[in-house]
Amino acid sequence: MVRSASIDKNGLRKGSWSIEEDEKLRNYIQKYGHWNWRQLPKFAGLSRCGKSCRLRWMNYLRPDVKRGDFSEEENNLIIQMHEELGNKYALNRKATSLKFSLQHVTSSTWSIISGKLPGRTDNEIKNHWHTNLSKRVKPNQPVSSEVMNEDSVSVGAPSKSDHKEKNVENFPPSSQEISCSELSSVSNDSVLGMNTVAEDCVSSMEIFQDSGSDFWDLPFLPDNDYNQDGYESLFLTEDGYMSFYAYAYDADAIDWIQ
C-alpha cells in the first residue's frame, strides 16, 4: 500500500520510507525540532525533499498520532464538521472578511477537524472521509439526527471497517490526553466557532506565560506547526501542565517547561 521507492531527477528519494529513514527523521526532530523543513533533510542526513519529511512526520512519525479505527463519535464529528465547513473552507479568509486578524489562525477543513480529534491527522481524516464517510452523506443532504444516531448509521454500503467502528473505547480521550483545545469550551452554536479558536490561542499563550519565562526569549522556539488549530501538543499531566514537546527537546527544554 506504499509507493515503491525511487530517485527523482534531483537525486532525492521518493516513495515509501525505509525504517532507517524514519529513524533518522525521528531522531533529528526529537533532538532539534523542525526549525526549517527545507533545510532539515540535509542536516538529518536524508535524501528527501523537505515536504516529504514534513508529511512523514506529521502523518506517521509523530508520537501522538493515534492509529486504528475511527470511533462512531469521531465519525459523527467529522460528518458534522464537514457539513458545516465544506471541503475548502479557509479560516484565514473568513477571518479577513470579518476584519478579524489573528496570526496563526490559518486553517482549513481537515486540519480544523483534526484539531478536534486528538491524534488524528488531517490526511487520515481526509482519507477516512473519502473512503467511508462520504458514502454516508448523500450530496446536499443535511446531517440529520438519524446520521448522528449511532444505531441508525447505515447509509451506503457497509464497509469492513463499519463493524469495527462500533468500538468506542478510544473516545473520549483519557484525562491525561486532554488537550488545550478541549479545555477551552467547544462552541455548540457552530463547530466553526471563531471564538473557540481565539480562546485556544490565548490558552496556549497563557500557559507559556505561566511558565515564568519570557516566551520571546526562548533560544529555540517550539514549533506550532502541527498544532495550529487544536493545540493538542500541549498536554496536561496530573500535576498541572506539561508540554507534549518535552519529549522532543533536550533536557534544557524540559527544565524550561517545568
Partner DNA sequence: AAGTCGATCAACCGCCAACCG
Partner DNA sequence: CCGGTTGGCGGTTGATCGACT
Residue whose entry in the numeric block shows the C-alpha cell 487520515: 124
Among 116, 120, 126, 136, binds DNA (CB under 7 A): 126
Apex 205 CA angle, 199 and 206, nearest 5: 85
Planar angle of CA 190, 195, 196, nearest 5 degrees: 75
Among 30, 32, 50, 256, binds DNA (CB under 7 A): 50
Residue 140 vs 175, nearer CB to DNA: 140
Is 132 a residue that touches DNA (CB under 7 A)?
A: yes
| Separation CA 193–CA 99 (nearest Å) | 16
Report which secondary-structure segment, H or E, holds 7.
strand 6-7
Q: How far is the CB of 251 from DNA (least distance, A)?
A: 25
Q: Is 9 in the site for DNA (CB under 7 A)?
A: no
Considering beta carbons, is residue 101 or 145 the nearer one to DNA?
101
Q: What angle do CA 92, 177, 212 make, to 5 degrees?
A: 75
Q: Which of 3, 10, 217, 239 lies at the binding interface for DNA (CB under 7 A)?
A: 3
Tell which one of 226, 231, 235, 245 touches DNA (CB under 7 A): 226
Question: What is the C-alpha radius of gyration for the chain, rounded to an integer number of angstroms?
Answer: 20
Q: Which of 206, 220, 233 is nearest to 58 (CA)?
A: 233
122 Cβ contact list (under 8 Å, min separation 6): 110, 111, 113, 114
Longest dimension (CA), the chain: 55
Q: Which of 19, 157, 251, 255 binds DNA (CB under 7 A)?
A: 157
Binding mask of the shown chain, residues 177 to 206, with x at each position contacting DNA by CB under 7 A: ------------------------------
Name the minimum Å distance from CB 252 to DNA.
Answer: 22
For DNA, the closer of residues 16 and 237 by Cβ is 16
Q: H/E element holding 83?
A: helix 72-85
Q: Which amino acid is at 4?
A: S
Range 228-257, binding DNA (CB under 7 A): 228-229
In the complex, least distance from residue 187 CB atom to DNA, rounded to whole angstroms: 19
Kindly state the smallest distance separating residue 213's Cβ from DNA, in Å: 21
Q: How far is the CB of 211 from DNA (least distance, A)?
A: 22
Contact 230, 178 (CB under 8 A): no
CA atoms within 13 A on the CB side of 60: 15
Does 100 sit near DNA (CB under 7 A)? Answer: no
What does the binding site for DNA look like in residue numbers (CB under 7 A)? 1-4, 8, 13-17, 34-39, 50-52, 54-56, 59-60, 67, 87-90, 92-93, 96, 103-104, 106-111, 122-124, 126-128, 130-132, 157, 159-161, 224-226, 228-229
